[in-house]
Structure 1
Amino acid sequence: MAIEDIQQNSNERRKNSTAVAPKPSFLVGEVQSPLWEITLTQLLQQQVLSNPSGECVIFPEYNYRKTYNQLYQTTLEVAQGLRAIGVVHGDRVGIFAGNIPAYVELFFAVSHVGAAYVVFNTTYTPKELQSALQHSGCKAVFVATSIGKTQTNGILDMLSSSSRNSVLTELKSVILLKDQAGRNFDTYDHLREAGKRISKQELSSVMASNTAGSICNLQFTSGTTGTPKAAVLTHLNIINNGRFVGDRMRLTSRDVICCPPPLFHCFGLVLGLVAVFTHGSCIVFPSETFQPASVLRAVAEERCTGLHGVPAMFSAELELHKANLKSMDFSSLRTGIAAGSPVSKKMMAELQEVFNLTEATITYGMTETSPASFMSFTDDPLHKRLTTVGKILPHTKAKIVDVKGKVVPVGTRGELCVAGFQLQKGYWRNPKQTAEAMQTDDEGCLWMRTGDEAIFDDEGYCSITGRIKDIIIRGGENIFPLEIEERLGQHKAIIQSSVVGLPDEKYGEAVCAFIQPRLSEQLPSAERLRDFVRQTLGWHKAPVHIFWLGEGEDFPKTASGKIQKHILRKKGQQRLRCMARTSKM
């Protein structure tokens, strides 16, 4: 070997030995601002002291408007009623209702008496609710006689049947909300009347004994995988989460936030209600169940400065506006949260252009993390707000790991894990699933496995690339549904799409797209649509199977607006089997 070659090899070895090691995918949020160690009761009391006459909550459907002081006084009366029916510290109190005033009143009243508020999904069948009540062990449950226009007769029949006594052994009281005729149950009005025999001194003593670390909320996961569990959350969890979320939105006492997401979901309850109350702002719940016309009307009439929603909600609002509500004034809007599922670049651009949401933020999290762990800032570069879920929240850690649990370098995809103040105490009465989802590392730090695939960049921004379970594996190659959905969303004939993998004999899985069409546009042929996808993505990412939703048909969703892909997979497999049978005839 020539002397020159030896010298060159030596220089390369020296250069490699001094090269900087890849930066690990490990983030730590700032800790300069101490956590608030207060209860929901103390949070409301603080707002009464600092802003007693400030309007805090509005339900236009009910002509309900309350200041902080008015709401506080009402919650004290309801808390006395809870004591009158025997609710004590550590009990669980459930609610099955849409977005109505009693929902907010009970949220704080239950906190006053030291119990945990159990919020039930309004899409539950009688059997599902019975199972959730049994699992959570509620001592009392508040049930609305209707959810929007849907009567809850089946639910009430289940609660009044003789089987209740043998199955729901911990349930002692059922209290009706809304229309209260024709049922042999206690009512909300009766509860408040009964509370008059409880002294204010007794209630004050109970309120003073509660702590920030106490359980205040059980939230059932939304069930996109079909297996809901109950996350156990504390006052410290949700108050600080709401506080940091409100900080990122730059909320002040002058802000009015329109919140269509349901209160039974952490989006409505924490990112909406608690975030607003930690900043002395006002929140508007436009309708009992999601109605796009009510949302737009509330924004215009209440001069809202913020609008929350999941992509499906924003899509419906944008479509309605295009159809016949272009004269409405949305100039008061500036911010809001888009969460629940990925937001397309096209939709974000429309939200800024049509609704003036120039400071719209993206929030990422899960029920088990109270919920937020990442969020964008209102002044983040547009590109970052379009392509990432922002940066880590204060007092939070995050890492991305491979299948062996080893932290991967920045720029590498893997499973996102989160640690910090917002972690649930665990799944209620389910130590096995708690142990599977939450793991302590060698340094004693407790981590939550999110089940989401993500990637960090050099600036600390996080991008969610999909659910680990949603990744399509075609011939050994990973395909990520989100990038295909993003591309399909750019087609003028498409409102929204959802991409899943279906079984394929040759490649293991094939790409399948369920698409909601824009009926005002001519639909492309399947091959033209595949060509459209292939213009920016690899040929193998073009959908093999394309299923258009019919007029009036919608994606299967949780009540919080998340598309249930496990149901789409089943539907896709059924269609393929039907097509196969037809071809053989």
Structure 2
Amino acid sequence: MTDPAEMLAGPFGLLPDLIRLHAARQPGKRAIADGASELSYAALDRAMDRVAAALQRDGTAQGQAVAMVSYPSVAQAIVFLGALRAGSVAAPIQPSATPAQIAGMIADSGANLVFLDAANAAALAGETLAARAIRLEALEDWLAPADAKPAPVTIAPDDGFNIIYSSGTTGIPKGIVQSHAMRWQHFSRNKEAGFADAVTLLSTPLYSNTTLVSFLPTLAWGGTAVLMAKFDAHQFLELAEKFRATHTMLVPVQYQRIMALPDFDRFDLSAFRFKTCTSAPFKPELKRDVVNRWPGKLVEYYGMTEGGASFILIADEFPDKLHTVGRLAPGHEAKLLDEEGNEVPPGGVGEIVGRSPAMMSGYHGREQATRDAEWFDADGNRWIRHGDVGRFDEDGFLTLLDRKKDMIISGGFNIYPSDLEAVLAEHPAVADCTVVGVASEQWGETPVGFYVPRAGASESADEIRDWANARLGKTQRLSALHVTNELPRSAIGKVLKRELRDRLAAGEFA
């Protein structure tokens, strides 16, 4: 088969084979760039061969993980994609974890090689690693010769494509194994997104599914991926203008910082056709601002790295549904369950479970954790628990209320922090905020808020708390509100509520 589009219309195929086809059909087209270097499709195809051959030379077995700890770069992308051609499993690991956690994830993955950029090699200098370290700056010295070809491998749909380690602030995060079949679903369903002639600008890391669901389809369809090592709002707009970016995936906090720039409107963003968002709550007013001021379609995705059900909100087409995360993606199913595992009636609130052709194989080496994430219906069908609580409206649009684990049970009442956060955010002195549940002898749990003040705000935390409590129900009222310079967030913008609880328990906000 010589036509990538024909292959993508089929039931299953492999990303390395698609890249080989693009290299034959459009050898000089830019495939990947990172601001410092770039590769054409022909050069990328050759580099993948050299990586795959070197992995086989160094004893990396088919199905074995290849670990990477790096900020996004062309070199990291080469290793990721070359590992797939060797039949190995790409295991990008988050540099934002502690050195001990990173060492633990490398060991957990079972990799015999780990690829490090300069910054992360320095950060891990005091750790004993379970895998041989290869420096990405010296990748050329490690690669197989320029004309090397790897031994061919046969890859089945259920074989591992990548391992993504879930975020966490303590312990070793769980490794989510995604198969080639799951990834193929991500590629083939994206025909309408227009990735074939896309220039996709990405500023989130390659260890995150947030990035991979745009990065990988861009290459599958033959577009160009431009990687940023670290996000900077101004630099993002400069690169978008320079490369005439057509597509991007950003998390809400990145949209917020970009739209807040005083000179946003001076940048030429007219090439944009497709902007997406996922991973964290996306405020309706921010969605509206992006729709009004930034050319191109805005699409919000809600789903899980583990798979399950995905929801899609085309913000431009549904301006009255911006408080939701949209409707089910084609071929996906979802239910809402009560505490006993029964489906809730229409209009009810429940835990989201979903199923689709795109679901994880399981957590790497953690059978019990995998079982805990699964739910089986009466017919034996496998569903994935999303861990979120939500409600469907009469049109089938899903409104998220909160993470199930973040729901506060105070005096027997269920309290959803997002409801309290929405009220706090309305105060003119509040720039950013969150609410967590903390232990209470009287109520079991009680809601406590944290906020970042706007520049020049004079109101005290107590005054803002009283203002909010006057607008909240009796069972929802904040027992305390603390001011902080910033909210701790993960690399993809999620507020780290556990870190705030730990800091509160340590007396930091006393």
Match for residue 124 of structure 2 among 149, 155, 160: 155
Give the aligned partner of residue 332 of structure 1. 271
- SS for the counterpart of 1:522 is coil
Q: CA RMSD in A?
A: 2.6
**Larger RCO, structures 1/2 (Cα 8 Å, 6+ apart):** 1
Measured in 2, the distance between the counterparts of 1:335 and 1:57 equals 19
- Asked if structure 1 preserves the Cα contact closer than 8 Å seen for 2:309 and 2:353, the reply is no
Which residues of 2 match residues 123-202 of structure 1 at below 5 A? 123-146=96-119, 152-159=121-128, 164=129, 168=130, 171=131, 173-178=132-137, 187-192=138-143, 194-195=144-145, 198=148, 200=149, 202=150
List, as ranges, runs of 4+ consecutive aligned residues in structure 1 with deviation greater than 6 Å: none
1:524 equivalent to 2:462? Answer: no
1:308 counterpart SS class? strand
Picking from 259, 262, 265, the partner of 1:318 is: 259
Q: 1:560 aligns with which of 474, 492, 497?
A: 492
| C-alpha separation in 2, matches of 1:293 and 1:116 | 35
2:156 maps to: 211
Alpha-carbon distance, 1:448 to partner = 1.1
Bigger drift between 47-56 and 296-305 goes to 47-56
Query: Counterparts of 1:372 and 1:274 in 2: how far apart (Å)?
Result: 20
Once the two structures are superposed, residues 24-64 of structure 1 have per-residue CA deviations (whole angstroms, 9 ceiling, x without a partner) of xxxxxxxxx9774112212323434554444332211x1x2
Distance in structure 2 (CA, Å) of the matches to 1:458 and 1:221: 33
Question: 2:5: which partner in 1?
Answer: none
Deviation at 1:390, TM superposition (A): 1.6
AA paired with 2:31?
C
Aligned pairs for 1:320-399 within 5 A: 321-322=261-262, 327-354=266-293, 356=294, 359-369=297-307, 373-377=310-314, 379-384=316-321, 386-399=322-335
Which one is further off, 413-422 or 389-398?
389-398
The answer to which of 496-505 and 460-469 deviates more is: 496-505
Q: Specify the alignment match of 1:283 in structure 2.
A: 225
In 2, Cα distance between equivalents of 1:78 and 1:109 = 5
Q: Is 1:544 matched with 2:479?
A: yes
1:403 aligns with 2:348: no
Q: Which shows bigger deviation, 540-549 or 48-57?
A: 48-57
Q: String of CA shifts for 1:517-552, please: whole Å, max 9, x gaps.
A: 221x424334553465467643543433111223xx
- The equivalent residue for 1:15 is none
Pair member with larger Rg: 1
Do the aligned partners of residues 346 and 131 (structure 1) sit closer, same or farther apart at CA in structure 2, a change above 3 Å counting? same
SS of the counterpart of 1:547?
A: strand
Match of 2:51 among 73, 78, 94: 78
Write the distance in 1 (CA, Å) between the matches of 2:347 and 2:172.
32
Change in Cα spacing, 1:136 to 1:565, as seen in structure 2 (3 Å) is same
Give the residue type in structure 1 aligned to 2:230: T
Question: How much has 1:397 moved relative to structure 2?
Answer: 2.0
Residue among 44, 47, 55 paired with 2:30: 55
Report what 1:28 is aligned to. none
Distance in 2, matches of 1:158 and 1:353, equals 49
Contact 2:347–2:391 (CA under 8 A) maintained in structure 1: yes
Residue 298, structure 1, aligned to residue 298, structure 2:
no
Question: Does 462-471 or 440-449 show the bigger shift?
Answer: 440-449
Q: 1:264, CA displacement in angstroms?
A: 0.9
Query: Quick check: which one's helix share is greater?
Result: 1
Counterpart for residue 65 of structure 1? 38
Distance 1:527 1:131 in 2: 43
Where does the alignment leave 5 or more consecutive residues of structure 2 unmatched?
1-7
2:421 is aligned to: 485
Identity, in percent, stands at 25
Deviations 1:220-263 (A, max 9, x none): 1112686620011111112312443x456x32433322211111
User: TM-score, normalised to structure 1's length?
Assistant: 0.79
Q: What per-residue deviation string (whole Å, max 9, x for no partner) do you get for residues 496-519 of structure 1?
A: 211112233433332222112221
Contact 2:309 2:356 survives alignment (8 Å): no
Contact 1:125 1:155 in 2 (8 A): no
Deviations 1:66-113 (A, max 9, x none): 333332222122222222222231121100100011121112110111
Equivalents in 2 of 1:487, 1:303: separation in Å?
Answer: 39
Distance across 1 between alignment mates of 2:392 and 2:171 = 29
What secondary structure, in the 3-state scheme, does the structure 2 residue paired with 1:156 have? Answer: coil
Aligned match for 1:90, one of 63, 79, 90: 63
Query: In the aligned structure 1, how far is the partner of 2:59 from the partner of 2:365?
Result: 23
Determine the C-alpha separation between the residues in 1 that align with 2:171 and 2:470.
35
Range that drifts further, 42-51 or 72-81: 42-51
How does the TM-score come out when normalised to structure 2?
Answer: 0.90
- How many residues end up aligned between the 2 structures? 503
User: Which amino acid in structure 2 is aligned with residue 352 of structure 1?
Assistant: V
Q: Is the 8 A contact 1:35 1:240 kept in 2?
A: no
Amino acid across the alignment from 2:61? V
> What secondary structure does 1:117 align onto?
strand
Deviations 1:262-321 (A, max 9, x none): 11111112x221132243332221x312222321221222222233222222233333x1
Residue 287 of structure 2 contacts residue 315 of structure 2 at CA under 8 Å; is this kept in 1?
no
- Give the Cα–Cα distance (whole angstroms) in 2 for the partners of residues 238 and 423 of structure 1: 9
1-side partners of 2:203 and 2:24: how far apart? Answer: 29
Task: Please show how residues 378-527 of structure 1 align to structure 2 within 5 Å.
Answer: 379-384=316-321, 386-519=322-455, 521-526=456-461
